[in-house]
Amino acid sequence: MDNWLNRRHALLGAAALGVMGGASPVLAHRLTTTTTHVDIDSGTGLVEVIHSFHVHDTETALATEGLIDSPNLSALKERAQLALYTQETFSLYQNEKIVPLEVVGAELDRGNVLAYQQGKLSLPIGELSIKAEMMRKFVHNQINNVDVVVNGKVTSLQFRGSDGIKKVLA
């Protein structure tokens, strides 16, 4: 009887692994989300921004749209093009005026590509707003998640569809 239970468990376990293993390639692609972390030092006004994109889906989408030369974000030129595209499609506003953010760079990090920006707010900070349009014009169901940290307090925003500017601090 013990052998039958062990064999049965082994067969069920193998079947479960087969089902889960068969599903994982489908789930591994089409990650239609980005994550952005905005860190603001309210004492100095320094702003540091890190955007995280899934490498494969981003390089495919941007190449299809002609925004990068080839679907290969391991190449420096394409990462620079992504960083410039991000600069065009992500905006931070202070008291309804755009805050200039400069491109710092972009790098690969495992299955993601990170694009970096920095800027400076005038003090006191006042009202802050964000616009995050990255890939929403050409990727169906694209969602851009943005976490803004000011004085240790996190405000999370989500941009999808035709969402425009959203307030962080009023």
Tokens of 157: 């925003």
35-85 residue pLDDT tens:
999 999 999 999 999 999 999 999 999 999 999 999 999 999 999 999 999
pLDDT for 118 equals 98
Write phi, then psi, for 79 (nearest 5 degrees). -65, -40
pLDDT for 9 equals 44
pLDDT for 27 equals 40
3-state helix, strand, coil in the chain (%, to 5): 30, 40, 30
Cβ neighbours of 42 (radius 10 Å): 15
pLDDT for 56 equals 92
CA dihedral 147, 107, 99, 156 (to 10 degrees): -10
Q: How far, in whole angstroms, is CA 83 from its chain's centroid?
A: 12
Write phi, then psi, for 3 (nearest 5 degrees). -65, -40
Q: Is the dihedral of CA 147, 136, 82, 165 positive or negative?
A: negative
Ranges of the chain with pLDDT below 50: 1-2, 4-28
Q: Which residues, other chains included, contact 143 with Cβ-Cβ below 8 Å and sequence gap of 6+? A: 32, 33, 34, 158, 159, 160
